Amino acid sequence: MARATWVLAATTAVGFALSIWLFLDNRSLRADLADRAAPAATAAGGSAATPEAKGDAWDEAVKANRDAKVAVAPGTAPALPEDKKESRGERRQRRQEEFAARFGRWDGETEEEYRARVMPLIKLGRAVPRERMAEARKEAEAKAKVTAEQSARLDKAFDKVYDDVLTYTNKAIADGQLSPYERNVAGWLDFAGGLGGILTDAQGQIGKILDAGQLKAMYDAGFEWGEYLGLSAPWEKLNPPPPAPK
């Protein structure tokens, strides 16, 4: 159980960056599917269309005479430029540029300006999940009969965990292991592996505060400490990334 919990913790910690990237990439895939579905829907609509009801002979003659006067000879209609279809590589590159524009440093942007622009968005995006996770913890602690004193000790232990996580993550950002300017999945996974060691230590701290029965009761209630720590960590306090390479 502990191994599964802390693997989840490690992946949750980098989930914010990955979720943004995958959202952007998934949005483009949805657009592709919509483009492919449109011609099929048009063709289906054309085949299912019912023929127009015929009017009287006089109206048909008038319409035919009018259409003959405004008819355009074949081949004379202007051709629209053909839409260029993005390749998967081009789409990924465009999404990477969009990600960098949102979460990278703008040209000449100071660290203070970056924090004012980006960090409120991160905090806002995590607000609702954090509220739900805090409520889940409260309910799970009640089922496990966790005392107020135990809960306070857990919070104090987590302060040290968060400090270690932020220090580790800031170093990864400064070293370019976590970078908004390039797609580095290998770097993210390597970062998650190192983060797992920090969170494994946190598991030991939790085990010193809660007994085995309480841990099992919370787990059986559907609560995961790894998921809680990943969401509750103050990611909005991270250092800004370095400026984009020239």
Mean pLDDT of the chain: 79
Residue type, 197: G
Give yes or no for residue 237 having a pLDDT over 90.
Answer: yes
Provide the pLDDT for residue 246: 80
- CA dist., res. 205 & res. 225, Å (int): 12
Are 227 and 133 in contact, with CB atoms under 8 Å apart?
Answer: yes
Can you tell me the mean pLDDT for 31-56?
Answer: 51
Provide the pLDDT for residue 214: 97
Are 161 and 13 in contact, with CB atoms under 8 Å apart?
Answer: no
Give yes or no for residue 212 having a pLDDT over 50.
Answer: yes
Give yes or no for residue 142 having a pLDDT over 50.
Answer: yes
Provide the pLDDT for residue 79: 64
Decide which of 87 and 218 is more confident.
218
Provide the pLDDT for residue 83: 67
State what percent of residues in the chain have pLDDT above 70. 66
Where residue 159 falls among pLDDT bands split at 50, 70, 90? Answer: very high
Provide the pLDDT for residue 245: 87
| Domain spans, the chain | 2-29+88-237
Give yes or no for residue 43 having a pLDDT over 80.
Answer: no
- Contacts of 242 by beta carbon, 8 Å cutoff, 6+ apart: 105, 173, 174, 176
- Phi, psi dihedral angles at 243 (to 5 degrees): -60, 155
Give yes or no for residue 63 having a pLDDT over 60.
Answer: yes
- Contacts of 243 by beta carbon, 8 Å cutoff, 6+ apart: 105, 107, 109
Decide which of 193 and 49 is more confident.
193
Tokens of 72: 């355009």
Can you tell me the mean pLDDT for 188-204?
Answer: 90
Give yes or no for residue 14 having a pLDDT over 50.
Answer: no
Helix boundaries (H) for the chain: 2-13, 15-48, 57-70, 88-103, 111-143, 148-174, 185-209, 212-220, 225-232
Are 180 and 104 in contact, with CB atoms under 8 Å apart?
Answer: yes
Residue length of the chain: 246
Provide the pLDDT for residue 93: 87
- pTM, rounded to two decimals: 0.64
- Phi, psi dihedral angles at 105 (to 5 degrees): -80, 130
Provide the pLDDT for residue 68: 58
Task: Pick the closest to residue 154 from 232, 210, 233 (CA basis).
Answer: 210
Are 126 and 207 in contact, with CB atoms under 8 Å apart?
Answer: no
Provide the pLDDT for residue 85: 83
State what percent of residues in the chain have pLDDT above 90. 48
